[in-house]
């Protein structure tokens, strides 16, 4: 069967360029396209530019025998000679002259592509994404990031300060490498590691009667105007489970989406609220007091969630190590009393 190039009336060296270089060459041994032989093309360009097999082999860091093998393989496949060889010199054939500029361009494009990919990979390695509850992102995470950034000043840390459910989804999808969150329910696709307990407290203004108490029972606040968190949050689910029917006897006057909103409303005199101890740090108000609750006392478990079976990158592992080393500050805050 005749070579397609010959049927089109093309010389063998012209057949090399029936397709654009990136897509491949057409061999006169068949009509199929192939990927370029980069080793062969690299050898070809080195020989052409230096006019010597010996010098080209030294440039590429291979033996002259290996260089000759590459050239022979390339020429055999193309079915055409690219060099005139004599005992004294090496010169390009017409096909070699035609191929040289395009081969150089192809190799330069390939090296550029690999360089770009390498740079992109390096950038990706200098980024780390984590999920974190908004309350922890305010009063705990800043010191963690400060320590991490001191040793990795060029690393971008992306923080998803989301709800419990959103953090779990981001970790499961790989958008965040780990999540610092409330451990509410077990998921088969996530690994969980408890780190600390954080108590819920009654938040009131400093001029409220409860502010002077060492603790307060739920029954003692049944007549108070209370601000609660939406049913869509993990905090609300935990409280409803712990209180049961007793929760229905409380006077819920306002419902909000975020604990920070509830605390800010207390500072403004809208009512009282019950939130995790650390949430009070989100709102910098001097007129707030935190009172421990009893009968029942409620605490949430804070911890880390990661994708099951997927190891953390070195950067994420280092960041998590700092979290675990500093987690004592959460426990200390949870035991404290703000007034």
pLDDT(264) > 90:
yes
For position 31, what pLDDT does the model report? 46
Give the tens place of pLDDT for each residue, 241-260: 888 888 889 999 999 988 88
Q: Is 198 exposed, middle or buried (0-12, 13-18, 19+ CB in 10 A)?
A: buried
Residue 11 pLDDT grade (very low, low, confident, very high; cuts 50, 70, 90): very low
Q: Is 179 exposed, middle or buried (0-12, 13-18, 19+ CB in 10 A)?
A: buried
pLDDT(78) > 90:
no
For position 33, what pLDDT does the model report? 52
For position 120, what pLDDT does the model report? 73
**Who has greater pLDDT, 190 or 33?**
190
For position 1, what pLDDT does the model report? 41
For position 63, what pLDDT does the model report? 93
Query: Against a cut of 0.75, is the pTM above it?
Result: no
Domain with CATH 3.40.190.290 in the chain: 127-332
CATH 3.40.190.290 fits 127-332, yes or no: yes
pLDDT(95) > 60:
yes
Domain topology for 4-123: Arc Repressor Mutant, subunit A (1.10.10)
pLDDT(59) > 80:
yes
Residue 162 pLDDT grade (very low, low, confident, very high; cuts 50, 70, 90): very high
For position 330, what pLDDT does the model report? 66
Gap between the Cα atoms of 282 and 135, Å rounded: 6
Q: Do residues 179 and 170 make contact, with C-beta atoms less than 8 angstroms apart?
A: yes
Strands 216-217 and 190-205, bridge-based pairing: unpaired
Domain with CATH 1.10.10.10 in the chain: 4-123
Give the tens place of pLDDT for each residue, 103-158: 898 888 888 888 888 777 666 658 999 999 988 998 899 999 999 999 999 899 99
């Amino acid at each position: 069967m005749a070579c397609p190039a010959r049927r089109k009336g093309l010389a063998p060296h012209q057949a090399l360029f029936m397709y654009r270089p990136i897509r491949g060459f057409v061999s006169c041994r068949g009509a199929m396209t192939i990927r370029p032989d980069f080793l062969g093309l690299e050898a070809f360009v080195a020989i052409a530019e230096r006019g010597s097999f010996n010098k080209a082999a030294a440039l590429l860091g291979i033996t002259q025998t290996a260089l000759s093998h590459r050239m022979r393989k390339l020429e055999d496949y193309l079915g055409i000679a690219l060099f005139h060889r004599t005992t004294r010199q090496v010169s390009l054939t017409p096909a070699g002259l035609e191929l040289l500029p395009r081969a150089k361009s192809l190799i330069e494009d390939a090296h550029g592509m690999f360089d770009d990919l390498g740079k992109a990979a390096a950038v990706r390695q200098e980024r780390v994404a984590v999920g974190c509850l908004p309350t922890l992102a305010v009063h705990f995470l800043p010191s963690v990031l400060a320590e991490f950034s001191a040793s990795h000043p060029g690393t971008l840390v992306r923080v998803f300060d989301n709800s419990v459910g959103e953090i779990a989804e981001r970790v499961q999808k790989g958008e965040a490498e780990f999540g610092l969150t409330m451990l509410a329910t077990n998921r088969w696709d996530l690994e969980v590691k408890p780190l600390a307990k954080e108590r819920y407290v009654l938040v009131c203004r400093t001029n409220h009667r409860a502010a002077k108490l060492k603790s307060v029972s739920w029954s003692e606040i049944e007549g108070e105007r209370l601000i609660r968190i939406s049913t869509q949050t993990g905090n609300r689910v935990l409280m409803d489970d712990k209180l049961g029917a007793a929760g229905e006897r409380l006077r819920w006057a306002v419902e909000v989406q975020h604990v920070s909103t509830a605390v800010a409303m207390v500072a403004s005199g809208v009512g009282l609220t019950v939130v995790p101890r650390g949430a009070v740090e989100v709102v910098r108000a001097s007129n707030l007091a935190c009172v421990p609750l009893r009968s029942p006392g409620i605490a949430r478990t804070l911890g880390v969630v990661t994708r099951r079976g997927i190891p953390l990158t070195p950067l994420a592992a280092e960041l998590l190590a700092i979290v675990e080393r500093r987690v004592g500050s959460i426990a200390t805050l949870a035991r404290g009393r703000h007034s």
